[in-house]
Amino acid sequence: MIKIKTFPDKCSGCHLCEMACSIHHFGVVNINRSAIKVKKEDLTNGACEPVLCRQCKKMICMESNDHDFSDYQNQFSWDKSFMDSCPFESIFLFKEELYHCDLCGGSPKCVEVCSTGAIELRIKE
């Protein structure tokens, strides 16, 4: 299985990961239409952090819903009813649509455009 690991200290806040995500899934550039979000303290200490689905083994997000997680694990658009279900706030609502990282089917586009190593692909047997 694969995972994307984040290293917030390395994030420079360039937003290229968000753009790559929206281009891959929608064919447009829109940093809000993305399953990865760069959180920035842009008026305090400048710190940045990429946030996205952690691919938890035990999907807490599924607990309050009567769903089979395997149906959702690889899906990008989730039902809005899951909105507050992630304890890490790593799924994102934009214009009534909820976005969850589907790892681009195994080849995450965000990782390809990260020049700092703030998001890295980890492959586990």
Partner 1 sequence: MYHSVLAKIDLTSGTTNLISLSEKILQQYMGGRGLNMRLLFPSLSRPGDPYAPDAPLVMSHGLMCGIPSLGSRMNISARSPETGYLGDANMGGELGAELRSSGIDSLYITGHSPEPVYIYINNGKVEIRDATQFWGKDTVQTQVKIRKELGDDQIKIGCIGGAGEKKVRFAGVRTGLKNMAGRTGMGAVMGAKRLKAIAVRGTNDISLFEPQEYMACYQKIFSRLLKGKWVQALGRMGTPLLMNNSNSLGFLSVKNNQSTTFGDQGKNLYAEKLEKHSAGMVSCVSCPAHCRHRFQIMDGPYAGTMGEGPDYASIGSMGSKIGNSNLESAIYASELCNRYGIDTISTGSYISWAMELFEKGIIDESVTKYPLRWGDQEAIIKLIHQISNRQEFGDILAEGTFAIDTLGPESDRFLLKIKNLPIEMTDERATKSFALGMATASRGACHMRSRPSLDVIGLPEELLRKVFNGDISSSYLDYKGKGRIVWWQERLNALCDSIGVCRFLSVFSSPNAPQAEQFSELMYLAFGKRFTEDELLDVGERVCTLERMIMIGNGLTKDDDTLPARYFDEPVKEGPSKGEVIDKTEFNNMLEEYYALHGWNNQGNPEPETLKKLGLSNLSTEEISFDKN
Residues of this chain that bind partner 1 (CB under 8 A): 9-16, 19-20, 22-24, 26-33, 42-43, 45-48, 94-95, 109, 112-113, 115-116
Q: Give min distance, CB of 47 to partner 1, in A.
A: 7
Residue 107 and residue 121: Cα distance in Å, rounded?
A: 9
What distances in angstroms separate CA 46 from CA 4, 60, 105, one per listed residue?
A: 23, 31, 32
CA angle centred on 68, ends 74 and 72, rounded to 5°: 20
N- to C-terminal Cα separation, the chain: 6
Residue 56 vs 113, nearer CB to partner 1: 113
Question: How is residue 80 annotated by DSSP?
Answer: G
Task: Output the six-digit token pair for 53.
Answer: 């689905």
Cβ pair 32, 26 in contact under 8 A:
no
